[in-house]
């Protein structure tokens, strides 16, 4: 499949998440979404948490965690309680979710096993490749990489207004 990397990444996520969603539907959980699992798993492991702590634990932005928590709340999987200040909200699992945990946990185990099967078919485990991509882009942001390749002036500028279109020196491994 040819195409831009972003398009292909979204397609892979749609394929994987779409099939996991089909499993939830088959299990009688049509309102449960694959994106809920990292939040639910964290709450199972840690207990009630503020949204900011959930975001950090899951590795997503506060905004993304807040949107997912809102969906979980609308579906009756979590409740939101006031925190220590007016802006903080504490997320906790509902009794409905606790009752569904055996089914959800069985699906998590099956999904983990299916991912291991898929990884065995790939040249390298998908999770490991994604970890490498994240580390590389965190080490040298893609914005800087584009700037160092662009013949157009002004590309690769930092928020300070300084043009950073020179590649960072990276030691050879």
pTM for the full predicted model: 0.77
Instruction: Indicate the pLDDT class of residue 9, thresholds 50, 70 and 90.
Output: very high
Instruction: Indicate the pLDDT class of residue 149, thresholds 50, 70 and 90.
Output: confident
Task: Tell me if 44 sits within 8 A of 101, measured CB to CB.
Answer: yes
Q: Which of 36, 41, 105 is nearest to 71 (CA)?
A: 36
Q: Which residue has the tokens 């807040």?
A: 66
Burial of 130 (0-12, 13-18, 19+ CB in 10 A): exposed
The top-level CATH class assigned to 5-109+125-149 is mainly alpha
Strand order in the sheet with 78-82: 49-50, 89-93, 78-82
Range with lowest mean pLDDT among 93-97, 138-142, 163-167: 163-167
Say what the pLDDT of residue 147 is.
Answer: 86
Does the structure show a pLDDT above 50 at 161? no
């Amino acid at each position: 499949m040819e195409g831009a990397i972003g398009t292909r990444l979204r397609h892979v996520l749609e394929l994987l998440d779409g099939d996991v969603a089909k499993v939830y539907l088959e299990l009688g959980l049509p309102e449960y979404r694959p994106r809920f699992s990292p939040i639910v798993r964290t709450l199972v492991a840690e207990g009630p948490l503020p949204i900011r702590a959930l975001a950090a634990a899951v590795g997503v932005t506060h905004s993304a965690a807040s949107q997912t928590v809102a969906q979980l709340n609308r579906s009756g999987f979590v409740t939101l309680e006031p925190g220590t200040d007016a802006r903080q909200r504490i997320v906790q699992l509902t009794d409905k979710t606790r009752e569904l945990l055996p089914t959800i946990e069985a699906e998590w185990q099956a999904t983990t096993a299916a991912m291991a099967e898929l990884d065995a078919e790939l040249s390298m485990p998908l999770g490991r490749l994604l970890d490498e991509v994240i580390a590389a882009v965190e080490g040298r942001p893609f914005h800087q990489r584009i700037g160092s390749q662009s013949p157009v002036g002004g590309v690769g500028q930092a928020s300070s207004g300084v043009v950073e279109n020179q590649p960072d020196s990276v030691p050879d491994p």
